[in-house]
Structure 1
Amino acid sequence: MEAPDFSAELYRDITEFAEGTPSWVHSAAEVGTDAGLLLFAVLFVAGWWRARVRDARAMGLALAAPFAVVAAYLVSEVSKTFLEEERPCRAVSGAVHIAACPSPGDWSFPSNHATIAAASAAVIVVAWRALAPVVLPMAALMAFSRVFVGVHYPHDVAAGFLVGVVVAPLAVLVFAVVAGRLVDAVRGVAVGAALLGVGRAAPLADTGGAAVGASVTIPDLALPDVAGQSEVTVPDVMGGLTRRQDPRP
């Protein structure tokens, strides 16, 4: 597969700009992708901890998230082996690049780094929507850094990002169905409760103001003496109530 001309030209413009930036920017761009993936891993752990006090579906999403990222990565990696696009740091004449050019046979399209970054952000958004303003821009910056350091074309990272945001959310929803069914059962044993938490307590039923489980007393009834009888009948009870209410001796 050969890269389109517009992407090669854009690659040249970006890498030439990158070469003129300060050395600390070069260093930050080189380590930025891996550092971002480490941060996503920390957020996966935080999501698991957060789900320990939530319902089975929330824990299922937290447990399924890493597997969904792996699924997206596999789609990207398999695509690479079929398409075999050469890296721009070798294919573009006079290319400049900050990072070392990957070895021959390490194909360019789509970008695995962009796929993993986008997939990680997408599954975190599915499970923990409030983090979307943080993780989505971070994933986009991580994907762009692969062009900035000169190891991918722009269309490589765009395609990788698309694979991540499409495949990973679908996979996490499917995996979470299976994981969620197991969570309640695993939480029923001591080790499982320690790892997955106890989940969210079920809401109390409406009892008209009385707490569930509270004892309800019945006024003391002057029941008739039914010693020797095999059972107490309704007339017996009503007779006792009548004698209690009648003031006559």
Structure 2
Amino acid sequence: MHDLALGGASIDGGLYTRITDLAQRAPHTLNTVISYGTDYGLGLFAVLMLLAWWRARPADARRMALVLATPVVVVAAYLANDVIKSFFDEQRPCQTLHTVTVEACPGIGDWSFPSNHSAVAAAAAVALILCGSRLGRIAVPAALLMAASRVWVGAHYPHDVVAGLLTGALVAWALMRLAHRAAPAVERVRATRLRPLVAVR
């Protein structure tokens, strides 16, 4: 089932080249900021998940169970996305279209579809929303910006990041619907010396 994503350039290669051409004409400072964001922006989601855990400590066990599930859900979304990627040998657009990009083009065999960065960002954003955290209001636009930045720097076609966003969001939605079942386990932990990790003293 390999090579299912043949002709990625025919899907939205024109849009990709218009975006990368625009990036080439953009101010160097802007491209530097976007490069840092696309390279290190996933760290923001780690910080948001940490803040969500801290804020959930006074809440009930169900809320804490959902918050604790969030990083697990993100890892699951990454793995699911990577499995999908293994079925599609889509070369990076910068390899296929030979465009000049803001960042160095990944090597041959570093597949493009779907975008891992987008999947991870979307999973974190959806999980934070579903666990009732207001931090989701930050995570959602941050996820969209992460996806857009992957196209801007030349790493992905637009359809790569859309597929990544959908994969991450769907995995997070499905798994977070089950996460509340861990509430009894959280209650048990609250009765042990580990209580400060899941509750306010």
Whole-angstrom CA distance in 2 between matches of 1:57 and 1:16: 48
Q: Deviations over 1:44-75 (max 9, x none)?
A: 11111111111111110111000101111111
Kept in 1: contact 2:9–2:93 (CA 8 A): no
Whole-angstrom CA distance in 1 between matches of 2:133 and 2:199: 21
Change in CA separation of 1:128 and 1:106 when aligned onto 2, cut-off 3 Å: same
What is the aligned partner in structure 2 of residue 64 from structure 1? 69
Whether 1:125 and 2:129 are equivalent positions in the alignment is: yes
Whether 1:180 and 2:176 are equivalent positions in the alignment is: no
Give, in angstroms, the shift of residue 133 of structure 1.
3.2
Give, in angstroms, the shift of residue 168 of structure 1.
1.0
TM-score (normalised: structure 1): 0.75
Whole-angstrom CA distance in 2 between matches of 1:185 and 1:121: 28
Name which of structure 1's ranges 1-10 and 76-85 shifts more when overlaid on structure 2: 1-10
Letter in 1 for 2:178: V
What is the aligned partner in structure 1 of residue 156 from structure 2? 152
Whether 1:112 and 2:116 are equivalent positions in the alignment is: yes
Name which of structure 1's ranges 81-90 and 166-175 shifts more when overlaid on structure 2: 166-175
What is the aligned partner in structure 1 of residue 41 from structure 2? 36
Unaligned runs of at least 5 residues, structure 2: none
The percent of aligned pairs where both chains have the same amino acid is 45
Whole-angstrom CA distance in 1 between matches of 2:111 and 2:11: 19
Whole-angstrom CA distance in 1 between matches of 2:130 and 2:14: 36
What is the aligned partner in structure 1 of residue 195 from structure 2? 193
Kept in 2: contact 1:68–1:169 (CA 8 A): no
Whole-angstrom CA distance in 1 between matches of 2:162 and 2:75: 19
* Residue pairs, 1:13-52, within 5 angstroms: 13-52=18-57
Kept in 1: contact 2:92–2:156 (CA 8 A): yes
What is the aligned partner in structure 2 of residue 211 from structure 1? none
Give, in angstroms, the shift of residue 10 of structure 1.
0.5
Change in CA separation of 1:6 and 1:82 when aligned onto 2, cut-off 3 Å: closer
Kept in 2: contact 1:77–1:112 (CA 8 A): yes
Kept in 2: contact 1:67–1:172 (CA 8 A): no
Q: Deviations over 1:14-65 (max 9, x none)?
A: 0000010011111111111243211111111111111111111111011100
SS of equivalent residue, structure 1 residue 100: coil
Match for residue 88 of structure 1 among 81, 89, 93: 93
Whether 1:143 and 2:147 are equivalent positions in the alignment is: yes
TM-score (normalised: structure 2): 0.92
Give, in angstroms, the shift of residue 81 of structure 1.
1.0
Give, in angstroms, the shift of residue 198 of structure 1.
4.7
Whole-angstrom CA distance in 2 between matches of 1:102 and 1:44: 29
Name which of structure 1's ranges 154-163 and 134-143 shifts more when overlaid on structure 2: 134-143
What is the aligned partner in structure 1 of residue 60 from structure 2? 55
Unaligned runs of at least 5 residues, structure 1: 200-249
Kept in 1: contact 2:81–2:114 (CA 8 A): yes
Letter in 1 for 2:166: L
Q: Deviations over 1:92-120 (max 9, x none)?
A: 1x412111111221100000001111111
Whole-angstrom CA distance in 2 between matches of 1:34 and 1:48: 25
Moved over 4 A (4+): none
What is the aligned partner in structure 2 of residue 244 from structure 1? none
Letter in 2 for 1:185: R
Letter in 2 for 1:193: R
By percentage of residues, which structure has more helix?
2
